[in-house]
Amino acid sequence: MDIIVRKSGGAEIVSIPKAIGKAAGIKAGTVLSLSVKDNQIILSPKHSTTVEELLAGCSPEMFALTDEDKQWVGDSPKGLEL
């Protein structure tokens, strides 16, 4: 599929055809990563990592309170923490 580069202000722009966007999971508002490799322009959807995804690789043991944690976890604020 061929597309034409257009000028808009000081930028060169292209439109992503709807079928290509749908196949790639791209829609208006999607953040893309742009790079050039071997003289090719590469656009990739930028994945936002959720808290759930970050925590999925953690075991429950990683959240166990240590003896040091237990010494301060119940304390009230001492300064301007809040």
d(CA 23, CA 16): 11
CATH topology of domain 6-45: Pemi-like Protein 1; Chain: D (2.10.260)
Summarize pLDDT for 3-30 with one digit per residue, the tens: 999 999 999 999 999 999 999 888 899 8
Tokens of 50: 């959720």
Looking from the CA of 19 toward its CB, the CA atoms found within 13 Å total 1
CA 35 to chain centre: 16
In a 3-state reduction of DSSP, which class is residue 38?
coil
The residues, any chain, with a CB within 8 Å of residue 48's CB and separated by 6 or more, are 31
Domain boundaries, the chain: 6-45
Summarize pLDDT for 52-81 with one digit per residue, the tens: 888 888 998 888 999 998 888 888 888 887
